[in-house]
Amino acid sequence: MMKSWVEKISALCLPARVHVCDGSEEEAATIASEMVERGTFVPLEAKKRPHSFWCHSHPDDVARVEENTFICSKKKEDAGPTNNWKDPTEMYAMLQTLFHGCMTGRTMYVIPYCMGPLSSPLARFGVEITDSPYVVLNMRLMTRMGNEALKLMQGKPFVPGVHSVGMPLKEGQKDSPWPCNPGNRWIVHFPGERSIWSYGSGYGGNALLGKKCFSLRIASAIGRDEGWLAEHMLILGITNPQGEKKYIAAAFPSACGKTNLAMLTPTIPGWKIETVGDDIAWMRFGADGRLYAINPEAGYFGVAPGTSMKTNPNAMRTIAKNTIFTNVALTKDKDVWWEGMDGSFPEGLTSWLGTPWDKGAGKPAAHPNSRFTVSSRQCPIYDKTAEAPEGVPISAIIFGGRRSSTLPLVFESFDWAHGVFLGASVSSETTAAAKGEVGKLRHDPFAMLPFCGYHMGDYFAHWLEMGKKTAPDKLPRIYHVNWFLKDANGKFLWPGFGENARVLQWIFERTSQRGSAHKTAIGYLPDALNVQGLESVNLKTLLTVDRDAWRKECEELSEYFQLFGEKLPKVIAEQLDALRERL
């Protein structure tokens, strides 16, 4: 099946040559050398950052392009109001025209890969066909890619994905260092046939089809049909001073602190954090009735700006070698730099645009959504159970967003249904991870707004049904956090970063029936948090329920939920009504 499909795509795209990727070190080194020769990659100083490269994209190919992302279900109503939809027959016909000859003059790479540990029954296989060597090297870091995956997937279903930068090369034509087609971009998903087509962008989740396209948009549809969850969540392990360990999953919109929390260095003595994953979780119930999660990815595609030894020392140690840096700044001694990195800015920087950086120009040296790509195995706190075939048992699920007011630091849901309501109610001030206006408040249910592969009303219903699959006492407890509260002067009220372990400590103890809390209109709030050693932290303000602000929140939510029409589960509407009454 795979061979005939590859031949079919080759006949459509007309590449100069076809290469089936084996995932080897030798293959990666050869491709990287070719990219250096082409001017796409700049090798970094080997003594400072061995086997690492810097590159920059086209200025208009820097983030996910949600306006060009489509869910092509058979019926428009199945895609829902939060997705762009086109008729699958019409879209497929258009794609056939678009992709005809699109790889002329280029190498067509065939990337067999596995999402999840190779030995896991929860893992799934995919094959991405691409004409981008950048995609090959990133997929090698982000997935289990190559010969091992190819052997295991023989005779098994796989998700086919076709990607092209959309720039065929005529004979003798000089290639661009970052080929793309910003004026003609399409990221298209067919959830019915479990396939992905992407054209025109070479960046991130638009081009690395194992990432958001497969692991969330397609996998969420598979999970709905098979009774499991594909979620935009980090997974961390937390161990208390007594050696008791629990696993927590957490969903935040992109660039709202998932990687920092996943790799957190606790400031409270005796507590330890280990990371299973920083972005995606696939979760299903085990034979014991508990919810188990795997990280389908094998690497990090992390946001660079703001990452430092102060904010995330484990990330900084992870990217010390074998890393691809995209759209950060380049120092004159061939190292990387970005805003928020430790120390003062170096002289003689090359900006993310590949031009000399002028400090006085008022523009950042690194793009706000610049990234590093690196293998998870390099993380110094990579959890030893991260490769466990059965996954890890989840004791708590956390939702959160970037909110400067209203939402308190932390609170717990009353039960699973109330927790699903909290997930459906997530909203956040936008960041640079998606193209568009920054700082605007937008709803992002379960942090899945750009990633749910079907109608979000049905997605809420699926979460509610999942809660019926086991005994209530075996379900994870559900929480909401907000690290981003500000005072009247715009100053953050909570120090965040390593201090977030204090909130995790309360959550940990709540799941062990030890942490104390009191019931409020919005959920259970802590009676106290461990703030020993913290100065100038006003817990009363951080844990206040502003009833007037919450009444406005209810009205805003009521208006938003109308978007889902008859597909909005009755339980969600009832939860909103109950919140109004409690207020």
Rounded CA separation 72/145 (Å): 27
Alpha helices in 63-218 (DSSP H): 76-79, 88-99, 133-142, 147-152, 204-207
Active site residue 452: no
Cβ–Cβ < 8 Å for 206, 224: no
Report yes or no: 435 and 66 within 8 Å, Cβ to Cβ. Answer: yes
How far is 192 from 210, CA to CA, in rounded Å?
17
For residue 427, give the DSSP letter. E
Instruction: State the Cα–Cα distance between residues 554 and 557, nearest whole angstrom.
Output: 5
DSSP codes, 380-414:
TTB-TTTT-TT-EEEEEEEEE---SSSS-SEEE-S
**Under a CB-based contact definition with an 8 Å cutoff, are residues 427 and 403 in contact?**
yes
Helices 416-424, 570-582: inter-axial angle, 10-degree rounding: 90
**Opening angle at CA 173, ends 170 and 175, nearest 5:** 110
Measured CA to CA, the distance from residue 21 to residue 270 in angstroms comes to 45
The pairing of beta strand 324-326 with beta strand 53-55: parallel
CA 193, 197, 203: angle at the middle one, nearest 5? 140
Catalytic option among 256, 379, 452, 554: 256
- The catalytic site residues sit at 256
